[in-house]
Amino acid sequence: MTQNYFESKDMTKKEKVQFVIDTLEKIYPKVPVPLDHKDPYTLLIAVLLSAQSTDARVNTITPLLFEKADNPYDMIKLSVEEIRAIIRPVGLSPMKSKGIYGLSKILIDKHDGKVPQNYEDLEELPAVGHKTASVVMSQAFGIPAFPVDTHIHRLMYRWNLTNGKNVTQTEKDAKRLFPKELWNKLHLQIIYYGREYSPARGWKIENDVIFQKIGRKSIVK
């Protein structure tokens, strides 16, 4: 690998962060939410379904599910088995179907059928972890959050902006480095960039302009 890929290695951390922001804004001035939804509840269900699946696959299944139940009151009229039969193509259907039924019942019993706007209540729902809660807070309610998925975790490490130990540390580093007012848009921009220019497989460094500028030299063999 030629040295010119790392010609800007003396950039300060602040300069690197600004380069990431500017580059992503240039490539992705507008970023749609990848999961189709119409309200906080349907987004919550879509995000839950997306675990270890693709957004494209989830977007083919949610219309079938939401045709039968697009709110918690209709969802609990279905059995767990009926939900599972619909969502089977996205994978992990036994766990996800129980989670969807269980969280729908809790939303009715404890939250008047509405999705709560805080982490504590969201993360108490079955099958809802911190990342899912963060996506809902960010994309459904516009509350600043920085959900870290595999793309963001991978890129933050490649860009030498985190030590890559775990997603919890990556989230902390992202929130520390990037301005809070940019979090909601920026995390989506990074996801799109990761899919298009810096994937886990078939990665071509010559296409990855951000890595070329600020990348972690040690990962290039």
* CATH number for 93: 1.10.340.30
Structural domain count of the chain: 2
Supply the pLDDT for residue 110.
98
172 has catalytic annotation? no
pTM of the model: 0.89
Q: What is the pLDDT of residues 98-107, one digit of tens each?
A: 999 999 999 9
Supply the pLDDT for residue 220.
63
Plot region of 91 (φ>0 → left; ψ -120 to 50 → alpha; else → beta): left
3-state SS track over the chain: CCHHHHCCCCCCHHHHHHHHHHHHHHHCCCCCCCCCCCCHHHHHHHHHHCCCCCHHHHHHHHHHHHHHCCCHHHHCCCCHHHHHHHHHHHCCHHHHHHHHHHHHHHHHHHHCCCCCCCHHHHHCCCCCCHHHHHHHHHHHCCCCCCCCCHHHHHHHHHCCCCCCCCHHHHHHHHHHHCCHHHHHHHHHHHHHHHHHHCCCCCCCHHHCHHHHHHCCHHHCC
- Which candidate, 140, 138, 13, 18, places its Cα nearest to that of 149? 138
Supply the pLDDT for residue 56.
95
Query: What CATH number is associated with residue 14?
Result: 1.10.1670.10
DSSP 24-44: HHHH-SS---SS--SSHHHHH
Q: What is the pLDDT of residues 42-101, one digit of tens each?
A: 999 999 999 999 999 999 999 999 999 999 999 999 999 999 999 999 999 999 999 999
Chosen domain end from 140, 175, 201: 140
Supply the pLDDT for residue 77.
98
125 and 171 both lie in a single domain: no
Supply the pLDDT for residue 217.
78
Q: What is the pLDDT of residues 145-195, one digit of tens each?
A: 999 988 899 999 999 999 978 999 999 999 999 999 999 999 999 999 999
Amino acid present at 49: L
Active-site entry in 96, 131, 208, 213: 131
Supply the pLDDT for residue 221.
52
Supply the pLDDT for residue 102.
98
Range of the domain at 196: 3-30+146-219
131 and 162 both lie in a single domain: no
131 has catalytic annotation? yes
Active-site entry in 36, 55, 121, 149: 149
Q: What is the pLDDT of residues 106-115, one digit of tens each?
A: 999 999 999 9
150 and 129 both lie in a single domain: no
Residue 4 pLDDT class (50, 70, 90 cuts): very low
